[in-house]
Amino acid sequence: MSTIKIKLVKSAIKRPADQKATIQALGFRRLNQVIEKEVTPQIMGMVNKVKHLILVVEQ
């Protein structure tokens, strides 16, 4: 499967609990961290939910 690189560019502080949980479930621990995930419908749904906090670096 293909992979996607995602970067956390905005903090989850003062965000709703479901958005904080989504950021944590994606595997982010700190700001400007880049993670690589496989492209699945579940991951893309999570990315879509917090698209205002992250940046898709590479597909």
**pLDDT tens per residue, range 2-30:** 999 999 999 999 999 999 999 999 999 99
Where do the H-state alpha helices sit in the chain?
A: 17-26, 41-49
Confidence class for position 49, pLDDT limits 50, 70, 90: very high
CB-CB contact of 9 with 42 (8 Å): no
Domain count, the chain: 1
Q: At what angle do helices 41-49 and 17-26 cross, to 10 degrees?
A: 140
Whether pTM > 0.85 for this model: the answer is yes
Segments forming the whole domain that contains residue 40: 3-58
CA 8 – CA 48 distance, rounded (Å): 13
CA distances from 12 to 3, 26, 38, 40 (A): 24, 13, 23, 23
Residue 46 has pLDDT above 90, yes or no: yes
pLDDT for res 58 = 80
Q: Looking at residue 46, which CATH number applies to its domain?
A: 3.30.1390.20
